[in-house]
Structure 1
């Protein structure tokens, strides 16, 4: 699903993205600031990472989203200043 919002031609919503587990390992940073156009939704944040880092694409169907410390669905609208978390599956023992 390629979305025109991901081209970021007219960015005006700046969000902070917190990365954990596989996301942090692949990206190499625990946090990034990204900009998205008005009307973007939380799923666009995930889509950005799955397209920019193809090795993360396998996590698409199992990743959950959080915004400002609340679990949200992918269709939640982004707001300026949001803190978005991509939550991959947790494993361990």
Structure 2
């Protein structure tokens, strides 16, 4: 038998602070095509949660605004800054949304 990889991955997206308020939930589990990038996940979030655009997500919907980031599997040392990198099956992305201003 061919033990090929499935064509999809399942990841958990956790929301903090303002993102949690906008999403109305602390976390969601989502299935994406294998090879999806963090940038494509941001685009998906922008479509699903349009109120995040301009507050957490850039207006072009392709990346997060400064001071907002994905923490991968709870590891503060390994945030996803490169939007063309890809998550792995089972990853937990925590969207840390830091409201700034003054």
Which TM class, normalised by the smaller chain length?
0.7 to 0.9
Distance (Å, rounded) in 2 between the aligned partners of 1:27 and 1:80: 22
Q: Is the helix fraction higher in 1 or 2?
A: 1
In angstroms, what is the RMSD of aligned CA positions? 2.1
Gaps of 5+ in 2: 1-6, 59-64
What TM-score do the two structures reach when normalised by structure 2? 0.70
Displacement of 1:45 after TM fit? Answer: 2.1
Counting matched residue pairs gives 83
Deviation per CA, 1:50-93: give whole Å up to 9, x if none: 111111111213232221222122222121000111122245xx
Q: Which residue of 2 aligns with 1:65?
A: 70
Instruction: State the alpha-carbon separation in 2 of the partners of residues 33 and 19 from structure 1.
Output: 11
Q: Which runs of 4+ in 1 moved over 6 A?
A: none
Please state if 1:50 is matched with 2:46.
Answer: yes
TM (norm. structure 1) is: 0.76
Cα distance in 2 for partners of 1:39, 1:18 equals: 20
